[in-house]
Amino acid sequence: MAVRKIAVLTSGGDAPGMNAALRAIVRIGDGFGMEIIGIRRGYSGLLARDFEPLTSQDMSDTVQKGGTILFTARCKEMMEERYQIQAAEILKEENIDALVVVGGDGSFRGAQALAAQGINVIGIPATIDLDLACTDYTIGFDTAVNTAMEAVDKVRDTSTSHERISIIEVMGRHAGYIALWCGIACGAEEILIPETYDYNDKLLIERIRERAATGKKKHIIINAEGVGQSEALAARIENATGIESRTTILGYMQRGGAPSSRDRVMASLMAQQAIEALLEGRVNRVVVYREGMVQDLAIDEALSMQKALPEKLVALTKRLVRR
């Protein structure tokens, strides 16, 4: 398959390192003589034909930038077949040989739908949530966890000074990976994640009481966005234990900022894998990191996988807490 002209878009929630991926797509693709078309605002921009040719030079000064220079969007229309057909027709009219989609699960579902309409697609995983079953690494996760960790360290200082309980809510609507990593890295006493939390505070409050009885008042509780209700939980804990409890919701700060070195390098490696796959005729694939290697999998297989709970991490969270 001759790949002369490719298009690239970023879609869904932005993630630090998306620009590093775009830069590598453009520069590596350009090195192989490809014409690269950037599509602004994800699938919404595709439907609106919001295109801009991208050259190697255009990508200067982007590797260190957070966010995405192509902008992003969550495009509900792409869930409907008539818009999927329309998007595929636009790409065919523009003579695009392959579309590179940088994003998370929803973005990959859009790419899968386009593949069913005869478009060659390849996905590069980028989401701070690390909630894709097919890959052990998603671009943006490392930066987001480090950002959250630094913020929690700061909250801890004031929490310790005031001998308070701090509930710190981190992102992750459906997945607790940021909460788990950040909680372990910050020495949290409790980590609540949507995959396991049963909304029964009794045991949690009992554990806090037991630790308080040994003189420990200050507690750091990391709560994933998917569990939510942090303010209400703080009020219940304060009522039950008599220890002042405060809530901090970190929110979108976790999605911004300069990407970590790991996110920049992984984004570049994953982009290289995407271009190599296209050159070798492997299309309708997703770039993944599995068994310590960047590789690519068939998109249908990748999206049919179920993410298992990281049991070892969950066990670790309990074992590290002071008795």
> Closer CB to ligand F6P, residue 128 or residue 277?
128
Quote the least distance from Cβ 230 to ligand F6P, whole Å.
Answer: 14
Quote the least distance from Cβ 225 to ligand F6P, whole Å.
Answer: 5
Pick left, alpha or beta for residue 74 (phi over 0 → left; psi -120 to 50 → alpha; otherwise beta). beta
Q: Report CA Rg, the chain.
A: 22
Our answer to whether residue 300 is catalytic in this structure is no
Q: Which residues are at the interface with ligand F6P (CB under 6 A)? A: 13, 74, 127-129, 171-173, 225, 255
Question: How does strand 165-170 pair with strand 219-224?
Answer: parallel
The answer to whether 114 and 87 have CB atoms below 8 angstroms apart is yes
> Closer CB to ligand F6P, residue 74 or residue 109?
74
> Closer CB to ligand F6P, residue 96 or residue 224?
224
Quote the least distance from Cβ 130 to ligand F6P, whole Å.
Answer: 10
Closest by CA to 248, choosing from 270, 233, 267, is 233
Q: What are the two backbone dihedrals, phi and then psi, of residue 195, each rounded to the nearest 5 degrees?
A: -65, -30
> Closer CB to ligand F6P, residue 38 or residue 226?
226
Q: Which residue of the set 58, 129, 142, 263 is catalytic?
A: 129
CB atoms within 10 A of CB 62: 15
Closest by CA to 106, choosing from 11, 224, 40, is 11
Quote the least distance from Cβ 288 to ligand F6P, whole Å.
Answer: 18
Active site residues: 129
